[in-house]
Amino acid sequence: MESFKRLEIPLKDGMFVKLKDICEFEKVESLERLVKDDGETNFYVFANVDPSVITATEVLDKIDPTIEKLKKVKGIKLKFKGEREQKRIMQTEMILASAFAIILIFIAILYLFNSIRETLIVMSVIPFSLLGVYAGHFIMGLNISLPSLIGALGLAGVIVNDGIIMMATIKHAKTKEDIFDLAPRRFRPIILTSITTIIGLSSLIFFATAQAVTFQPLAVTIGFGLLWGTILNLFYLPTMYNFLHKYRAS
């Protein structure tokens, strides 16, 4: 244990620091027991990371050379659980769920407006809203994690609500002046719809404690993504609608 505490960790500037200087070690006494998984005796190694500094995936990438050396040792078999296992399982499921959700959103909006062009205009807000997601994580000092991706999937369904409100109004425009007249009428309902949602998420975004910290990236994704998406629906969507219909001032 003492040798492990004196393990030297390389820094970016070329200097080395001892592990005991940057980590706290706590010994917990427990009864000796054998832990088995699928009939094999296991020894577990646990570690927690500060998500505001680094993610579990980044840590595993940094220690990958050491892991590769351990895999070559006879009698040792490594099996990763925790976030690595969840990420592997969720990756395929997230891709399928995202594709399925986008298709259902597309069909719902297409049924409502009966126009592929108007449907695509509303859905084009979704990828641009991800800029708000990245900005929110940067402001809050968080890294993109699995809950962030789950939140992005939920954001896709929430962000189109304001777009539907705007599109349902400006689709009746015949000239550019009509767009200028109709678009501001949707300002209040769009702002109220978004603000009430953001206020509801604010406690989890700014004051997450204990186990709620796990869901903070999800709330940050939806909250900041919706905030930026609201601006897009108010300004970008009418502009794109006018551009594609090529309306001119009368």
Q: What interhelical angle do 116-123 and 146-170 show, nearest 10?
A: 140
Identity (one letter) of the amino acid at 42? N
37 vs 242, residue with greater confidence? 242
Q: Where are the domains of the chain?
A: 2-71, 90-245
Q: Are the C-beta atoms of 160 and 123 separated by less than 8 Å?
A: yes
Helix locations, the chain, DSSP H: 2-5, 19-22, 56-62, 64-71, 82-113, 116-123, 125-140, 146-170, 176-182, 187-206, 216-231, 237-245
Q: Using 50, 70 and 90 to split pLDDT, how confident is the model at 87?
A: low
- pLDDT tens-digit readout, 200-217: 888 888 887 777 777 888
Cα 145 to its chain centre, rounded Å, is 6
* Residue 228 pLDDT > 90: yes
The closest alpha carbon to 230, from 193, 182, 199, belongs to 193
pLDDT in tens, 140-197: 888 887 788 888 888 888 888 888 988 888 888 888 888 888 888 888 888 988 899 8
pTM, 2 dp: 0.65
* Chain CA centroid to CA 176, Å: 37
> Please, are residues 230 and 163 in contact by the beta-carbon 8 Å criterion?
no
Residue 67's alpha-carbon distances to 60, 73, 169, in angstroms, are: 9, 10, 58
Architecture of domain 90-245: Up-down Bundle (1.20)
